[in-house]
Amino acid sequence: MYKYDNYDQAMVDARVAEFRDQITRRIAGDMTEDQFKPLRLMNGLYLQLHAYMLRVAIPYGTLDSRQMRMLAHIARKYDRDYGHFTTRQNIQYNWIKLEDCADILEELATVEMHAIQTSGNCIRNISSDQYAGAAADEVTDPRPWAELLRQWSTFHPEFSYLPRKFKIAVIASSEDRAAMRLHDIGLELIRQDGELGARVFVGGGMGRTPMIAPEINPFVKADDLLSYLEACLRVYNRYGRRDNIYKARIKILIHEIGADAYRRQVAEEFAHVKTLGIDPPLAELERISAFFAPPAYDAANVEPDRNDPDFALWLDQNVKPHKQAGYAIVNISLKPIGGIPGDATSTQIDVMADLAEKYSFDELRVTHAQNIVLPYVAKRDLYSVWQALREAELADANLDLISDIIACPGLDYCSLANARSIPVAQKIATRFADMDRQRDLGELKLKISGCINACGHHHAGHIGILGVDKKGVENYQLTFGGSGAEDVSIGKIIGPGFDEDGVVDAVEKATEVYKALREGDERFVDTYRRVGLEPFKEAIYG
């Protein structure tokens, strides 16, 4: 894992002092709320329905046990004893007091953490593949590249007042576990003629106008990457729309001028920017990469004993193959039946920290599906890990099943929401509580957003649910056929919306149609793509 040097530490320490100064000036009345808002947002501080919400950055979703324990400590000391892991691989706290904020940031800085650029119209926390460093299919570990981008984008003087927020994801596998092409910039690291570089996709996103990012450059060399991204951002900063907040994301610019025109403008800008000498030498990427060297694996390859049937079910569902023989990737579900997707108590966060320290070379990952990963667990330890997780109510064996729901905080917390998301997630999970039934349905990614901003990724759900306000009543639209993976697609609305119970019934009917029509080992989304909407529509509305 990356460790701060004196420069990195000085940057986060200075940020704490700066934000403390800004809060003081705000409280003294030297700044209006309108002037303070973008500053607090660039520190992840939102004013929500009931309180301030603080979003803490977890760069590319990677953290160690010491950092994880700090997250538990903050939940305990400054919040209501829990935190919410987000689709951006961050954590947010829902009940924060403005006057505590600088102290929280100061505590975070002691463990090399911060809330820098977790909101605002700037380059946000860089996201990545939660299996980075452990996945058998990666061409390289994407995290050193993500760290390079973290540093480049931190306090970027030119790109902190962009038309709108800007999200970058980096992956290095053909299997996309990070919804890469639904980001403003998606980078897929590839090897070409022995050299590593990035395939660059620009202009994806969800929100009210979902778009899949087109490829803008098939290969950008490592030591050209920052210049190239700088060119991508400069074209956007100059020409992205600022007249309408709903049309301000880069996807709209690219949609309006076309990918070819955008590509040409970026190429011209890059030819100029490349002369400025802003690219770090490859030695900097190498310096960062050294922190991500593989851990000291044990040679023993001991298969776990599958005698305990519950353990065996968890193994089959939540444990994934590792690139190192004798090791496995453990997924910890934060989706207990009837629970709030992504929430964890301080006790649970501490348990996960302890397990990481003892069994996973001190590392954890946060996934965009709002779960936690222990990336390096020896197979012989899997049973012990499972027992400890079960003790902490963290052993739900539902990874990628219908109850592994992504949901935004919705109208229970969020000031932008039109409808509640959490109760719908809870009702669906409860309806499908029977694990045999869930397993029979197989991989089924269900995602719920409480408004058109799509924080719950409903466009990318095999089944997506969008909460809207219909004349003062919560109404839920269903979409089918979306995907955030390498088979990326945007779901389509199937017809008129439903009330809360109606949408649960409609989801259930859809699963029945799938069961009746599926062929071979087709997933729900495969069957839907093959047979089309009609049979589903008939069952649901007929």
Partner 1 sequence: MVEFRYRTDEVTEQPSVTLDAFLDQSNATAVRLEPDDDARALIPFLDRLTLIEVAFPKFRDGRGYSAARILREAGYQGELRAQGDVLVDQIAYMRRCGFDSFAPEASLNPDAVARALAHYDHAYQGAADSVVPIWKLRHG
Binding stretches for partner 1 (CB under 8 A): 5, 7-8, 10-11, 14-15, 17-18, 21-22, 25, 30-31, 35, 38-39, 121, 151-152, 154-163, 226, 234, 237-238, 242, 272, 276-278, 280-281, 283-284, 287
Kindly tell me which of 239 and 383 has the beta carbon lying closer to partner 1. Answer: 239
- Shortest approach of partner 1 to residue 150 CB, angstroms? 9
- Shortest approach of partner 1 to residue 113 CB, angstroms? 17
How far is it, in rounded angstroms, from Cα 261 to Cα 270? 14
Token digits of residue 461:
């759900």
At CA 398, angle to CA 512 and CA 317, rounded to 5?
A: 105
Q: Residue 429 corresponds to which amino acid? A: A
What's the N-to-C CA distance of the chain in angstroms?
Answer: 55
- Shortest approach of partner 1 to residue 289 CB, angstroms? 14
- Shortest approach of partner 1 to residue 231 CB, angstroms? 11
- Shortest approach of partner 1 to residue 154 CB, angstroms? 5
Other Cβ atoms closer than 10 A to 187:
29
- Shortest approach of partner 1 to residue 142 CB, angstroms? 19
Token digits of residue 40:
């607090």
- Shortest approach of partner 1 to residue 158 CB, angstroms? 5
**In degrees to the nearest 10, what's the CA dihedral of 155, 200, 452, 458?**
-120
Kindly tell me which of 98 and 313 has the beta carbon lying closer to partner 1. Answer: 98
How far is it, in rounded angstroms, from Cα 126 to Cα 113? 14
Beta-carbon contacts of residue 106 (< 8 Å; ≥ 6 apart): 16
Kindly tell me which of 276 and 296 has the beta carbon lying closer to partner 1. Answer: 276
- Shortest approach of partner 1 to residue 7 CB, angstroms? 5
HEC states along 84-153? EECCCCCEEEEEECHHHHHHHHHHHHCCCCCCCCCCCCCECCCEECCCCCCCCCECCCCHHHHHHHHHHH
Helix (H) or strand (E) holding 541: helix 534-541
Kindly tell me which of 270 and 536 has the beta carbon lying closer to partner 1. Answer: 270
- Shortest approach of partner 1 to residue 121 CB, angstroms? 7
Q: What is the DSSP string of 19-32?
A: HHHHHHHHHTTSS-
Alpha helices, DSSP H, located in 274-398:
282-290, 309-318, 346-359, 382-391
Alpha helices, DSSP H, located in 295-339:
309-318
Helix (H) or strand (E) holding 465: strand 463-470
Kindly tell me which of 154 and 426 has the beta carbon lying closer to partner 1. Answer: 154
Kindly tell me which of 106 and 284 has the beta carbon lying closer to partner 1. Answer: 284
Q: What is the DSSP string of 30-83?
A: SS-HHHHHHHHHTTTEEE-SSSEEEEE--GGGEEEHHHHHHHHHHHHHHSSSEE
- Shortest approach of partner 1 to residue 111 CB, angstroms? 20
Closest CA to 78 of 99, 48, 50, 47: 99
Kindly tell me which of 17 and 27 has the beta carbon lying closer to partner 1. Answer: 17
Kindly tell me which of 155 and 383 has the beta carbon lying closer to partner 1. Answer: 155
- Shortest approach of partner 1 to residue 33 CB, angstroms? 13
Are residues 153 and 188 in contact, defined by beta-carbon separation less than 8 angstroms?
no
Kindly tell me which of 121 and 317 has the beta carbon lying closer to partner 1. Answer: 121
Token digits of residue 377:
């667990």
